[in-house]
Each structure stands twice: as C-alpha cells, then as structure tokens.
Amino acid sequence: MAKFTVGVSAALFGADNKPCFDERILAEVRDHDEIEMVVMPQEKTHLDAGDAARFDAVYLMLERADAHTIDTPDRKLKLIARHGVGFDTIDIPGMTGLGVMVTNTPVAVRRPVATMALTLMLAASHRLLEKHNLTRAGRWAENADFMGTGLTGRVLGVLGAGSIGSEILRLVAPFDMQLIACDPHVDKAHLAALNTKKVDAKELFSEADFVIIATALSEATWHFVDAQKLGWMKPDAMLINVARGPVINEPDLIVALQQKQIKAAALDVFETEPVDADNPLLKMDNVITTSHSLCWTDECFDNIARDGLGSILSFVAGQTPHYVVNKDVLKR
C-alpha cells in the first residue's frame, strides 16, 4: 500500500538542516509508518501541478497555493496545512472548490503574537531603538531630548479583538491603561469582561494614544487603515501593526509619518514582503521595523508545529483536524 506523502516547506529548516522547532514534533510525521515525508526545494515559492500530483498533503510556511496551478487530472493533494495563523497566501475559495482542506494554527500563535505587540508598544513608547543608538554613539548628554511616553492612564485601542486581540487586552491589564477595541464580530459583553469598551473605528483612531492592529486580512480590512483614519489619530499617537501589512495603506502611512500626523509606528509586517530596501519606512528614526518574525520564538514555533503537523496526523488517522479554515469542504 502506498504511503501518504507529505511535502514540508524548506523554509522551516535552518542551514544545519534541522527544523526551527522541536525536532521531536517533526519526528511524529517523519517516522510515521504510513507517511513518507519530503522536504520541498528551498527555491519553491508556489505550489505547482507537480506538487499536487506528488503529495497527498503539504505543510507550508511562505509558499503560495493557487487552485488554478494545481487543478490537474492527476492531482493527489487533499490537505494544505499552514505553519501559522494567516492564510492570505492560500486560495481558499479555489481550494474549497477542489475539495482540498486547508488548516491553520490560530491558538498556537495567540500568546506569542500578543507578547510581540506589547514588545513593540513598549519599544516605541520608551524610544528604545533611539536610546540604543544614543548609547552606542556616546551621546548620553542628549537623553533629555528623547523622552518616552508613559502608559499609565493612556488609551490603548485594539483593532480586531478576536483571539490575538483579546489576548493583548488580557496581557496589558497590569499597565492600568484605558482599553478600547473595534471589532464588528465581537460583542460588548466579551470586551466588557476584559475591561474594554467597544467603539467604532472613528472613536478608536481618534481617542487612542496607541493603536494596535490585530485584525485578520480580508476584503473588508484591505487598506482599512488609510489616510482618513490616520488623519483621525492624535499627533502624538503611535501605530503598531502585528497583523498583515496590507491592512494599512502603506503610502498613506508614509505620508502621515513624514508630515508628523502621528508620532511613531512599529511594524512587523509590510504591504510587500520581503520589504523593498528603498522603502522610506526603513529610513525613519520614529519607525521600528521587524521582518514579520518578531514573534518567532521556540514557544511560538513549537506550538505552531504541534498544531500544524498535528492536523496532518489527524487527517492520516481519518479524523477531522481541529482548525479547518474552509469548513465547507467538510460537507463534500
């Protein structure tokens, strides 16, 4: 009997060919009697017809998957498991139409991304990178010119109060900030239990001293943060994005920062990734940038791999994985 063949993203392995998470988690798939595991080529950026014909399932990190490139008569592919919570690189409607199940790992990233959001807020509010550079340049006498912003009593606005947004609101409680959130899919009672007031977008952007973007990327949130909403923000407010780059209209943000409409930004994500080396955001002293990886910790990747590879193990065992993105595929 042929084994169930699984293609695994090469992006999940370091130069030493070891996975960037606990190898014992990978071993559950690699050493499974009914599974043949194959590491896909390092240069692969998109799934193609050859992959769909070769693999029963794939475990993807950065690769894109579009239905039209894998829809061939000899397709074996039945499952795409994402190493992470986002699935904007996967053609979800197309995969549903083909009967290909897509899974992600929403719970695994909740705490790591929430702590990343607080890390960026604290770094921006305390002007960490600027003071780091002052120290290295021997410019201690200039410290008074780089005063930070305290958090006590300030207003934190969270755009998107789902799993990650709610975790941010839980973790920030000891800082004694005023908490507000905007999310049409979350009710007032849930937010009230987190000592948070539910507001609309205008109130959130107008009142917040810190805005953290934690919403999923969708047609409704594409470029949601635009010139109008940035114009509502206070001139001393700071914007933190730990969601997806295209939630912000990046040219509008660049203008807002250049014209000092807002004080600072901290960004782990960009509209185009990898970000262009000439992007003005990379040259601004009041912008903290990280490479869509600040939450990458042993805790984060172990959690993700456990859930992501676990979905493949469940599928092989004839069970429905816990975190199916395109649930309509279950009706087929």
Structure tokens at 327: 């649930």
**Sheet order of strands, 4-8 included:** 35-39, 4-8, 57-60, 79-82, 101-103
Q: What are phi and psi of 322, to 5 degrees?
A: -65, -40
From 46, 139, 273, 322, the catalytic residue: 273
Both ends of the chain: CA-CA distance in Å? 25
Does the active-site annotation cover 306?
no
Beta-carbon neighbour count of residue 127 at 10 Å? 20
Indicate if 292 belongs to the active site: yes
Q: What's the CA angle centered on 10, arms 33 and 22, to 5 degrees? A: 60
Indicate if 273 belongs to the active site. Answer: yes
In angstroms, rounded to a whole number, what is the distance separating the alpha carbons of residues 205 and 231?
A: 9
Bridge-partner residues for 7, per DSSP? 38, 58
* C-alpha to C-alpha distance for 241 and 9, rounded to whole angstroms: 26
Active-site entry in 82, 111, 244, 271: 244
* Tokens describing residue 204: 């959130």
- Beta strand 264-267 pairing with 178-182: unpaired
- CB distance 168 to 114 below 8 Å: yes
Separation between Cα atoms, residue 40 and residue 238, nearest integer Å: 41
The CA radius of gyration of the chain, in Å to the nearest whole number, is 22
**Residues 6 or more apart from 269 whose CB is under 8 A from it?**
241, 242, 243, 244, 245, 292
Helices (H), the chain: 23-30, 49-54, 67-70, 92-98, 110-125, 128-136, 163-171, 188-192, 201-207, 227-232, 250-258, 298-316
Query: Which residues are designated catalytic?
Result: 244, 273, 292
